[in-house]
Structure 1
Amino acid sequence: MVALLGLCCMLYMTWGARAPWGFVLPFRGTKLAALLLVGVSVSTATLMFQTITQNRILTPSIMGFDALYVFLLTSAVFAFGGMNFVQVQPQITFLVAAVALTCASLLLFSTMLITARSDLLRMVLTGIIFGALCRSLTSFLQRMMDPNEFAVVQVASFARFTQIETDLLALAAVITSFVFARAWQLRHRLDVLALGRGTAITLGEPPRRLELEVLILIAILVSVSTALVGPVAFLGLLVVSIARLITRTETHRYLFPSAALIAGVTLVGGQLLMERVFQLTTPLSVVIDLVGGLVFLMLLLKGLRR
């Protein structure tokens, strides 16, 4: 997987380069760094979320993160106007969106922190209702918007891997590095938690304290990736499912790097095919959501058969 990711990165940097290398390398390098950063963030957050929920089809995006992001974006454009929103410094927009998504995620998943694991159904229903509420409020605000402001919202509502604020990469990389380092330190404790609450308590691991810390890490990772490039609903589900299929293990020391590498190959290789090989204008997020949605249905039907 490392060799495959290296090949994708090399082709992404060199395929069809016609300008001087002094311009091509920095220009494509920033996009490549953003793709890899998003891949690590989304894959790590999804894997940890599935571990603490003990459910292979749940992801933070499915639980309403995307709807919340679009609602916050629509509210900001509606309140301050499209021109004022565009003129705001990207660092401020990034930090506000990240903090808002982090706080909202902790509120959204608070059911898990104060109830037993058997109340997972309530958490799922809470996420579904929360997402439906955000979509309804977003639709209501968009209907009252000026057409020009609505265009601003539409552009920012899709994951954008070709239009990335380079000033945000350093900040997002620092935050993601610290969070991933902490997640790597927790890999053995996550292995114990994946055995079940009863087994974890028997082995001396307090589940609720670990779940609280992991939820904070998940909220930070998802908020950073979403605020950086926009929502991608099924990327995490897709790459984590492939990682489990390839590694055939539930050990996090193998799943963390495997899922991150697969996410990097998916994003970099997909962007290479869409942008350079086929020269399509279709956003990569549309294809990822299509394939990820099919994987979600397959996992759901597989669970029903069992």
Structure 2
Amino acid sequence: MPDRRLIILAVIALASILAFMTLGLRGNMAFVLQLRGLKLLALLQVAVSIAISTVLFQTVTANRILTPSIMGLDALYLFGQTALVFALGGLGYASLDGGLKFGAEVLLMIALAMGLLWPLLRTRMDMSLMLLMGVTLGLLFRSLSALLSRLLDPNAFAVVQTASFANFNTLRADLTIIGTIVTLGAAVLCWRARHLLDIIGLGRETAIGLGVHWTKAATRLLLLVSVLVAVSTALVGPVAFFGLLVAALAERLMQTQRHALLLPAASFIAIIVLVGGQTILQHGLGGASTLGVVIEFAGGLLFLALLILGSRR
């Protein structure tokens, strides 16, 4: 029987979806519903992909304050946007084919992830060294982005700043559908591996003692994390602290390490935050702020709180 708290989260998530689709309907209903449906699909895709990828990443790394952004994927994305604006200018960047740009960004981020994971698989490198490599590459990409940003004119710099935050307003239906298919496939794989995740969550030595090929399993899971993060980031932009926010809330609310409960709980909370937050911003605050900025601010505060609480234990 499903956990009662999980049912409550599912009901709230469904209510958020209905509110997003129905509040303030006027004008051409077919056009408005189609536009909102596309935006809702993108919100759901990003919510589920970031929630699942963060839970997986924290399970494999055995650390509840880390997010997949530590692998440098977000920094690579930002560097790519800055380099494109620097090379092509603001107008040239805006005229790029969205599908080609999406595909190139996904491939680049997956290539970076494979480059980090390959030594882990081939030489049984320690996980901490892989994470350190990711942090170092992230600092490198951020430094290069900052350098190029200083050489841009104000108009081009404004374009880069816009691309630095998640944007749910300019979406293409074909790219959103591709991202949704990838996310659904990953969600099915994660659900089938939920019992394996429970074992991996016990720690490397314990998992190996229970018969798990830890290095191979961890590499596959991290590659799956990289695909999810790459697709969602290329679709709407970076959301570094969002995964930390929903994963921490799911763990505190469910009070369990069972992934059969953690994975859906984190996904429902992510849907509530994204869809419900977008609904409040649009209809309650008149679009006075950007959802991505608000989420990053709240996630950053939670990250600091987790660090402080962890240091006091």
TM-score by length of 2: 0.92
Q: Which residue of 2 aligns with 1:82?
A: 90
Residue 281, structure 1, aligned to residue 288, structure 2: yes
What amino acid is the match of 1:188?
A: H
Residues 19-28 or 257-266, more deviating: 19-28
2:85 match: secondary structure:
helix
Aligned match for 2:144, one of 121, 137, 147 = 137
Q: Give 1:13's match in structure 2, choosing from 17, 21, 26.
A: 21
Partner amino acid for 1:240? A
Instruction: State the SS of the aligned residue for 2:72.
Output: helix
Give the count of matched residue pairs: 304
Q: How do residues 46-61 of structure 1 correspond to structure 2 at under 5 angstroms?
A: 46-61=54-69
Distance 1:109 1:286, change over 3 A: farther
RMSD: 1.7
1:281, distance to aligned residue in structure 2 (A): 3.0
Structure 1: how far apart are the matches of 2:304 and 2:199? 29
1:70 aligns with 2:71: no
Q: In structure 1, what is the equivalent of residue 171 of structure 2?
A: 164
Kept in 2: contact 1:52–1:211 (CA 8 A) = yes
After TM superposition, the structure 1 stretch with the greater mean CA deviation from structure 2, 182-191 or 147-156, is 147-156
Equivalence for 2:253: 246
CA distance in 2, matches of 1:197, 1:12: 43
Query: What is the percentage of aligned positions where both structures have the same residue?
Result: 43
1:74-123 deviation line (CA, Å, top 9, x unaligned): 11222233333322221111111011111112334556544555x52x44
The alpha carbon displacement at 1:214 in A equals: 0.5
Unaligned 5+ runs, structure 2: 1-8
Of 146-155 and 134-143, deviating more is 146-155
Once structures 1 and 2 are overlaid, which stretch shifts more, 76-85 or 107-116? 107-116
Can you give the 5+ residue segments of structure 1 that lack an aligned partner in the other structure? none
* TM-score, length basis structure 1: 0.94
For the residues of structure 1 that align with 2:76 and 2:97, how far apart are their CA atoms?
21
2:3 corresponds in structure 1 to: none
- For 2:92, give the aligned amino acid: N
Q: Distance in 1 between matches of 2:274 and 2:207?
A: 35
Change (3 A) 1:218 1:202: same
Q: Aligned equivalents of 1:244 and 1:112: distance in 2?
A: 28
Q: 1:232 — aligned with what?
A: 239
The 1:115/1:281 distance shift into structure 2, 3 A limit, reads: farther
Aligned partner of residue 160 in structure 1, secondary structure: coil
